[in-house]
Each structure stands twice: as structure tokens, then as C-alpha cells.
Chains A and B, each alone.
Chain A
Amino acid sequence: MASRGWLVARGAAIGLVVLLFALLAWSLVRDKGGDLAKRANRGDRPAAPDFTLDRLEGKGRLQLSSLHGKAVVLNVWASWCVPCKEEAPYLEEVWRANRARGVVVVGLDSKDFRADAQRFARRYDLTFPLVYDGPGNTLNGYGVTGFPETFVVDRGGRVVEAFAGAVNGEEERARLESAIATARGT
């Protein structure tokens, strides 16, 4: 009788350990965004996770997949992020220079107060589409670990290049322009 109780307790302990391992494995399998940037920069062209988010100004929503057929420069930013302030004018330039050529710049503001982000957009005169994801639910899918990060998505919705940090230096800007050309299929 005593050994039966002992066996039950031991079985429960083993079951708990197995359950914890299963949860760990599940979380690792589920977290697919972690290596998206690495796969993109290796040339694998992983699919860009789709999202539908409110426009920052509150007028309607934007779904990423609705931009299929266009090259997309997806920039993840926040108003409190210092490198984002340095990068914003350049992204506006990219948008103005390429919008007529089938390129859309999309700014994804995250982990931020909406009002602060709206002030940021007005201050830097951003005219490209901006979406708001306060809780940051979209970030895991892209494996975003810091701000800013930029993803260049081709006409078929696949990521051709990823940039961790601001696209500020000449080298990064040349890389971005090359990635945009690749995404446009030229």
C-alpha cells in the first residue's frame, strides 16, 4: 500500500517534468520569428508574417498582405527610440523617391503611446503609411529584439533583407537600395 502511494507520487513528479519539457519544446517550435532576419539575410526569403493593424492616425486598418504586388519597406519604430529619430527623415526620402515605382514604406510603431507616436510623425513630417501596435503583438513573428528594425519585403510577400538598427550609414543605405531593387524584381 505504502509503495503504491510512493509510485503515484513518483509518477506525478515525472509527469510534471515531462509536461514542463513539452511546454518548453512547444514554445521553441512556436517562436518562428527568432531567425527570420537570419534566414532573410541568408537569401532564403522567408514569408513575411501577415498582420492587420490600426492606422496610427486612427483612420482604418492596414493589412500587410493587401500590399502584395508591391515592394514593402517595413520599418519598426517607436517615438522614444533615439536612432529612430535619426532614421525617420531618410525613410521619408526613400518613400518619396520610390512610391511611384511600386514601393511602399510602412512604419510600424510599437510599445509606444499612440499620442507620442502621432507627435513624432508630425514632427518628422512622415507621409508614408503608419500603423500602431502598442502591445507589440506583431514583433514576435518578425523576431524583433530592438528598435528600429527594417524588413524589405518583395512583391510576393517574402522578406529579402532585414536590418537590425537604424539604416543610417552609407553602407546600410546602399544595402537598403539594393534590397529594394531586389524586392521590385529589377
Chain B
Amino acid sequence: MGSLSGIEILIVTDSTEVLAQLRKVLDPEGAWVSDARTARSALSAALELHPHLVICDLALLGHGAFIFLREFRASLGFAHTTKTPVLALGDARSREGIVQATQLGATDCVLKPLQALLIAAKAEKLAKSAIFPKRVLAASEGTIAVPMEIMRAGESGFVIESPIVLGPDSEVKLESALIDRLGLGAILMRTGTRGPFEPASVTPPRSETGQVADIGLIGVDPKSAKALRELASGGEL
């Protein structure tokens, strides 16, 4: 996994050569790279992608880079775009451009001709400084689903093995071909109060994660129990 794995970078340049040079450095590091060739398309891409880093070529046609920087930082009114790091690509012969870009909100600058190692190092440092807000929720209801295996079944419920240790007296849903065969569909049930106990085996590991699986006893509702009792009366299901 590269040092920029999972990092979203937007490159703003109308130079095919600059774009190719940057991609050659960033792609192998695992960055998700998008590009825009004008200030307008760069602004909409930045708002669409919420990148960790914008790399902006100051040589963009018609002072496009400065228009982009000004709009991105000041005029859009989105709190987040004021914080996204922007790496400007400048020209040593145009000091004023670099100063202006810095005044408009560029976070850092590298000079052309571009050096691969310097670009990679700055991109990594800046991208990882991008902080997106976390959102605390008032306990939003959710679900967790894991693979499991049914070991036993019958009127008192199921004995199952799964990678999680089930808490007692909680509502869970079981789905399996066996349950379908019994004509029950996905069934809601409550876990037993006797709780988890020793795994049936540790080799080979049963759970998908390679961990020792735990077992819980799960109770079924009366209707499902009747169907199970009838089918279990013959012995093996």
C-alpha cells in the first residue's frame, strides 16, 4: 500500500506534460487523482470530490489559478474549502505569482521543473494534514451483520458459531438456507440468557477473520419453534 493510499488529490492544470509528471509520482503511491483544466471546472470538482489536497498550476491560462484560489478560499462560503491544503506549482522567474498565490491562500509552493521526490513528500505531508470534521450522532440506530454457522437447531432455538460474542437477551436476526427450508424466512429472535460459551474448535478457525469463534444460544419465537420441532423430531435436520 502506497504512502498516499486512500488520499484524494485534485490537480488543476491545463498542461498535459505537468499532469503526466504529477500522475507519474502520485498514482503509484495509491492516491485517487482527478484533474481539472479550467478554474470553473476545478471549482466544481473541488466541491464534488472534497479532496484532501489540491495541486494548482499557477501557469493556468488567463490567470485561472488565481481566480480558482480566490473563489475556492473566499467566495464560496463553505467552511471546509478554507482549510483544504493547496500546493501551488510556481515558476522561479515569476516571484510575484508565488507571492500572490500565497496571499490568496496557497498553503505551500514548489518550483518548476518539478522534482518527483519533493512533490511526493509535500503532497503526503499536506494531504495528511487535511482534517475533515467528525460527526457525533445522537446514537443513530444501525445494524451489524456477520457470517455465522448453525450447529444445532430445534424447538428451543439454535446453537450458532459466529465471530462476535452475543450479549444475552438481545434481539438478533438469523438468515440461512436451513431457515429458508423450514419456511421461516429471516427470523427475529432473542439471544438466550445463558450467554456465550467455549468455541467448538480452534483449528481450523471458523470465523472469517481467523479468530476463534464464539457460540451463543438463541431462542426462537413460538411459531418458528413449532416448525422446528416438527422437522427436528426425525433427528437430524
Are chains A and B native binding partners rather than an unrelated pairing? no
